[in-house]
């Protein structure tokens, strides 16, 4: 239990036993307690060890699949790719992970708008960070996208880095969506509406 939560509970108990205070005092402290618990839950980072498997592309985020479609990717590939989009609600874990081992060959942060994350245009209009990972079997793109509430993207990798499947890619504060762009010949293992778990759900097989 965090010090903040402990302090609130002690304050409520002290006030209850030693003072006659208005009901709104308890309502206020109760609201602060709930907010404190929610923030702690939001920033949780459960450990999910992975044994890297170069035959699989794993989900980079917890959430729900909101898009599975072929698109023309024009930032890096300039050709058709399969796009899989995962929307993260405020109740999901918001740490993102590396979906495939390899080398980071491209990274770019784009300033942009803050459309709601389930809007298809958010992938190219919102603030976002794009990372391309390549190995001997595939070249894929991971795009972290800020949303209406999310206003800050944290990304830990750099061009030239060697990355391992399952390691931490970054974090989107209070948001929102991660897109994967995969080769068109890969077999996709998820469908619209599927729930994903980072480092556990198999998105595609190489």
Active site residues: 176
Which three-class secondary structure state does DSSP give residue 80? strand
- 148 burial (CB, 10 Å; 0-12 / 13-18 / 19+) is middle
Strand residue runs (E) in the chain: 56-58, 63-73, 79-87, 95-97, 102-110, 128-134, 139-145, 152-155, 162-163, 168-173, 177-182, 187-188, 195-196, 202-205
Cα 53 from Cα 9, distance rounded (Å): 46
Helices (H), 47-195: 122-125
Centre a 10 Å sphere on the Cβ of residue 134 and count the other Cβ atoms it contains: 15
Query: What distance, in Å, lies between the first and last C-alpha atoms of the chain?
Result: 43
> Residue 205 pairs with which residues in a beta bridge?
56, 187
């Amino acid at each position: 239990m965090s010090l903040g939560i402990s302090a609130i509970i002690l304050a409520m108990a002290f006030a209850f036993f030693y003072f006659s205070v208005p009901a709104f005092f308890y309502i206020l402290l109760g609201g602060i307690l709930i907010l404190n618990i929610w923030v702690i839950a939001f920033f949780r980072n459960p450990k999910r060890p992975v044994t890297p498997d170069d035959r699989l592309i794993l989900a980079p985020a917890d959430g729900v699949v909101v898009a599975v479609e072929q698109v023309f990717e024009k930032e890096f590939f300039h050709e058709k790719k399969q796009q899989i989009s995962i929307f993260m609600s405020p109740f999901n874990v918001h740490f993102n992970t590396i979906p495939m081992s390899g080398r980071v060959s491209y990274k770019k942060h784009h300033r942009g708008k803050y459309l709601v994350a389930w809007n298809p245009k958010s992938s190219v209009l919102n603030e976002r960070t794009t990372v391309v990972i390549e190995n001997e079997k595939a070249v894929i793109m991971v795009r972290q996208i800020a949303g209406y509430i999310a206003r800050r993207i944290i990304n830990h990798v750099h061009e030239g880095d060697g990355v391992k499947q399952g390691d931490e890619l970054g974090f989107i504060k209070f948001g929102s969506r991660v897109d994967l762009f995969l080769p068109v010949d890969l077999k996709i293992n998820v469908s619209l509406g599927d729930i994903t778990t980072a480092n556990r759900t198999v998105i595609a097989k190489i």
